[in-house]
Amino acid sequence: MSYCTIEEVRGMIKSDALNVIIGDEYIEDELEREAKIVPLVEEAIGDADGEIDGYLAKRYPVPVSPTPKVINKFSKDIAVYNLFSRAGIDEGEKEKNFLNRYKAAVRFLENVAKGVIDIGASDNTKRAATGFQVNSNPRLFSRNSMKGM
């Protein structure tokens, strides 16, 4: 299960940027270019989902299903960043926007992991955060039972 689709990520990338992402070779044929970008997008989505799960696993069972809208958004942002970072992000140009969106996604996910932000999925905090469960006998001594002693 992925938090976003190939079509969603591909829709965020302008066609003139595809050759930059694919690599050194220029591919003029649109169908050939699309055929080469799909496996790269799939890999970028897989990496994004793995990164997201790494943060969410501290508070939620992963993968989170159904996917909250905010996780879908950040999955797309991280996947697009992963694609552009293959060729290097030029911080002086429009690619800086992808870096900024990636950093915002990471900040958000860090806050989810800390419990500052709730994504609205079923919270499994105690099990996920501690990894163990404590069972004990009923309390034997209390202020009331110890009165007068």
The Cα–Cα gap between 98 and 100 comes to: 5
Omega before residue 63 within 30° of 0, cis = yes
pLDDT at 133: 55
The Cα–Cα gap between 49 and 47 comes to: 5
Average pLDDT of the residues in 64-87:
92
pTM for the full predicted model = 0.75
Average pLDDT of the residues in 69-87:
92
**Average pLDDT over the chain, rounded to an integer:** 83
Average pLDDT of the residues in 20-48:
85
The residue type found at 104 is A
Greater confidence, 121 or 125? 121
The Cα–Cα gap between 57 and 92 comes to: 35
The Cα–Cα gap between 105 and 49 comes to: 12
Contact 115, 128 (CB under 8 A): no
Is the per-residue pLDDT at 100 higher than 80? yes
